[in-house]
């Protein structure tokens, strides 16, 4: 399936259960216009439909990338954004949608990842970057701050000193520095980037999907709750997963010394 929304290309690889959303405004370095934000949500909704009526979980992972080879996303569309009187309450919606999406979302970052684009990547479950990518919060140069949780996210991941440095100076950092600070999961050589991301996503999509979904909810719960509440939540997820066919399949495959075949049931 390849579908073209106005500013997002939607692809689905049935063999692996992997959806790909390509932000497609390369002439504006994939800056987040209102249309692009809406199309990311619409694209995710299209992909989620793959699970309707499916026996088990069909959609296993989503890749979010930018078209054009120069940017993942250069942030909010400066012209459009500055004209928004509300400062973009609607702009939060695609971030929330990614965070709440049941399947893991992988940000495939190749090039500039700035401002609201960086916040979009931070809302994803994984950030995989090519070595020539750069990250930053240039909002301060426009007299604003990252308004979609970027300072919160970076503070939680890398500490307040790094968050303040990025958001107060507006300077870009390299993928290597982002890696040192824990802001990305992996950095790959530019010429191996596509193949490495493909391998990562294929592995992710092959894991037991209900367990993967539960782990996403558990990790997000840990960020936003106390330890006791988080452990109680994990216990309830664990009990649910013990009753799944995937758990029985995983255990059987281990005993029979073979690869498991998970169906998300
Ligand atoms: N918005 C609109 N257009 C953009 C943007 C953008 N953010 N970034 C780049 N473009 C456009 C340029 O205007 C240019 O268009 P044209 O060819 O028509 O002149 C084209 O993309 C190519 O850009 P450049 O010629 O500038 O390319 P360079 O390689 O010289 O520079 C940079 C690349 C460094 C990325 C540079 O374009 C730049 O600094 N862009 C602006 C980055 C920025 O400030 N982003 C932050 C925006 S604010 C934000 O994201 C706040 C989010 C808050 C969310 C709030 C929710 C409540």
| Total of domains in the chain | 2
E strand or H helix that includes residue 237: helix 227-242
Q: Do both 88 and 177 map to the same domain? A: yes
Q: Is residue 105 part of a domain?
A: yes
3-state secondary structure 24-46: CCHHHCCCECHHHHHHHHHHHHH
Whichever domain contains 215, its CATH number is 1.10.12
Residue 132: the pLDDT is 98
Does any domain span residue 99? Answer: yes
Residue 51 and residue 22 in one domain: yes
In a domain, 263, yes or no: no
Residue 229 forms part of a structural domain: yes
Return the active site residues. Answer: 119, 139
Choose one of 32, 40, 74 to mutate for the ligand 1 pocket test, by most ligand atoms within 8 angstroms of C-beta: 74
- Residue 262 in domain: no
Q: What is the ipTM of this complex?
A: 0.97
Query: 107 and 171 in one domain?
Result: yes
Distance CA 120, CA 107 (A): 8
How far apart are the C-alpha atoms of 62 and 18, rounded to whole Å?
6
Domain termination residue (choose one: 190, 206, 222)? 206
Q: Are residues 61 and 95 in the same domain?
A: yes
Question: How far is it, in rounded angstroms, from Cα 190 to Cα 110?
Answer: 8
pLDDT value at residue 15 = 96
Probe target for ligand 1 pocket from 26, 78, 170, with the most ligand atoms within 8 Å of CB: 78
Please list the pLDDT of the chain residue by residue as tens digits (265 residues): 789 999 999 999 999 999 999 999 999 999 999 999 999 999 999 999 999 877 899 999 999 999 999 999 999 999 876 545 434 444 448 999 999 999 999 999 999 999 999 999 999 999 999 999 999 999 999 999 998 999 999 999 999 999 999 999 999 999 999 999 999 999 999 999 999 999 999 999 999 999 999 999 999 999 988 888 888 888 899 899 999 999 999 989 998 999 999 999 9
Are 224 and 248 within one domain?
yes
Residue 80 domain-assigned?
yes
Tokens of 255: 């005993």
Residues 189 and 226 in one domain: no
pLDDT at 233: 86
C-alpha to C-alpha distance for 178 and 136, rounded to whole angstroms: 10
User: Helix axis angle, 150-158 relative to 160-169, nearest 10°?
Assistant: 140
Q: Are residues 55 and 97 in the same domain?
A: yes
Please state, in angstroms and as integers, the Cα–Cα distance from residue 16 to each residue in 58, 206, 208, following that order.
9, 8, 13
28 and 152 part of one domain: yes
Domain of 195, in residue numbers: 2-206
* C-alpha to C-alpha distances, 258 to 68, 128, 130, 249, 261, nearest whole angstrom: 41, 30, 34, 10, 9
Same domain, 189 and 222: no
Q: Is 241 in the pocket of ligand 1 (CB under 6 A)?
A: no
| 131's tokens | 């070595």
């Amino acid at each position: 399936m390849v579908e073209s929304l106005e500013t997002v290309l939607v692809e689905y690889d049935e063999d692996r259960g992997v959806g790909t959303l390509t932000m497609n405004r390369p002439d504006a370095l994939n800056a987040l216009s209102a249309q692009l934000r809406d199309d990311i949500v619409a694209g995710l909704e299209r992909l989620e439909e793959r699970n309707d009526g499916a026996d088990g979980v069909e959609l296993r992972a989503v890749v979010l990338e930018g078209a054009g080879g120069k940017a993942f996303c250069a942030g909010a569309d400066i012209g459009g954004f500055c004209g928004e009187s509300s400062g973009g309450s609607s702009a939060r919606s695609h971030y929330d949608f990614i965070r709440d999406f049941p399947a893991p979302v992988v940000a495939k970052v190749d090039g500039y990842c700035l401002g609201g684009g960086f916040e979009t990547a931070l809302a994803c479950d994984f950030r995989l970057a090519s070595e020539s990518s750069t990250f930053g919060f240039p909002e301060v140069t426009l007299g604003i701050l990252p308004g979609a949780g970027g300072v919160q996210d970076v503070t939680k991941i890398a500490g307040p000193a790094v968050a303040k440095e990025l958001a107060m100076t507006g300077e870009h950092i390299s993928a290597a520095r982002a890696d040192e600070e824990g802001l990305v999961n992996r950095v790959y050589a530019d010429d191996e980037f596509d193949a490495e991301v493909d391998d990562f996503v294929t592995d992710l999509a092959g894991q037991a999907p209900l367990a993967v979904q539960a782990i996403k909810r558990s990790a997000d719960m840990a960020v936003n709750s106390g330890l006791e509440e988080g452990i109680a939540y994990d216990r309830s997820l664990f009990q649910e997963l013990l009753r799944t066919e995937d758990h029985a399949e995983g255990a059987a495959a281990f005993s029979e010394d073979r690869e498991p075949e998970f169906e998300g049931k």
